[in-house]
Amino acid sequence: MKKTIFTIGLMMCIAAGASAQETTTPNPVNPNAPKFKFVTEEIDYGTIEHNADGNREFKFTNVGKEPLIITNAAGSCGCTVPTAPKEPIKPGESAVIKVHYATDRVGHFDKTVTLTSNADTPSKVLKITGTVKPDPTPDPATAPATTPTPVEPKK
């Protein structure tokens, strides 16, 4: 008898839990939402000199029907610093995302810039890649010390 009551109680709990499950419906897509259209979403710096100009620009147009507002632009590390427009970009207008990469870091790099906005895709990732050559002139502070030539004593 106890097992039957326990089983019935357990089934009622399961049924109540199942009926309490929320069904989520995706937010409807706004057909008028702002929309990015980039000339390119990846910039390849190629092979550049040490301490070369690290500034580049991602050009885009708002091809949506409402103003585009960029609320945040973040680099994937401290060596990648993006700057986005603060004012809304009206439909049909173009603008740029400026990116500065610190080219004092030698070697290959593969970094991202993440934009947060009110666009139809709220998060957009842009990419920069390249290779910074080593400095051809060694820093005297880090150059290996040379051993002085021994001087023979005077006779």
Q: What is the pTM of this model?
A: 0.70
Answer yes or no: are the C-beta atoms of 132 and 48 closer than 8 Å: yes
pLDDT of residue 146: 58
What pLDDT, on a 0 to 100 scale, did the predictor assign at position 12? 65
CATH for 36-132 (3.40.50.2300, 3.30.950.10, 2.60.40.10, 3.30.360.10): 2.60.40.10
Looking at residue 137, its pLDDT comes to: 72
Rounded Cα gap, residues 54 and 41, in angstroms: 17
Place of tokens 């070369």: 52
As averages over each run of 10 residues, the pLDDT of the chain (155 residues) reads: 62 60 62 95 96 96 97 95 97 98 95 97 96 81 59 65
Give the strands of the sheet with 70-75, arranged side by side: 42-48, 123-132, 107-117, 70-75
- pLDDT computed for residue 136 by the predictor: 80
